[in-house]
Amino acid sequence: MNKRILFLSLLVLIFSGAFSQSVEFEKDNFPGKKEELRAARKQLDIGIEFYEQGRKEFDDFRKGLMSDKTLPVSTRDYLHVGNENFKSAQSPLMDAQKFNPKNAKLNYMLGFIRFFEAPASKEALGFLSDAFRLDPETEQDLPYWLGWCHQLNVNWDEAIKYYNVYLGRLNLKPKSFAVEIEDVQKRLQNVIMEKYLVQSQKEYLLII
């Protein structure tokens, strides 16, 4: 592992958390918008209920998958897992997000759902990036999905950065997250290889 990259990634995490702020769905944050806030919170609650049901199904499936499958896993492995609940969650969560686009957890949920609908979509990347900018600590696995999304968008340096942020979190409890650490390390190897192959091809094309 490149310790310098990991150190810089952790600095990004620390400083992005210091200079950004997630806006909660609280009345003090929306003066004069009592009814709009109430309606948005209702949609948020509905969306969260469906999201959590889908996420439990997803997490249970992922736990079994990662213990049985050769790592790293693919987005194809997760097709249709939690799909119905995630679809039901998306519309009310989007309604809540229109009212308050600066809530980190809400952007994370929308980014997560969108990632498994269209993994390389700019929409998924946007939601996950906003979530990290607003509060990097909103979910422990946020940098993992963000790194994966950047990888699929061939943003290799960004993918490496966020994978290393996530790896730094996992390494705080290496015994508890041994499988997850192996997955991220192999994913990092893949990104580095992808970057090398593409750059080598470009250099070859320039030479000829």
Q: What is the pLDDT of residue 89?
A: 98
Q: How far apart are CA 155 and CA 183, in angstroms?
A: 19
Kindly give the confidence (pLDDT) of every residue in the chain, 208 residues in length, as a single tens digit, with 9 standing for 90 and above: 455 555 555 555 555 445 569 999 999 999 999 999 999 999 999 999 999 999 999 999 998 888 876 778 788 888 788 899 999 999 999 999 999 999 999 999 999 999 999 999 999 999 999 999 999 999 999 999 999 999 999 999 999 999 999 999 999 999 999 999 999 999 999 999 999 998 887 665 554 4
Q: What is the pLDDT of residue 9?
A: 53
Q: What is the pLDDT of residue 134?
A: 97
Q: What is the pLDDT of residue 194?
A: 92
121, 126, 127, 132 alpha-carbon torsion, rounded to 10°: 130
Domains of the chain, residue spans:
3-207
Domain 3-207 indexed as CATH 1.25.40.10 = yes
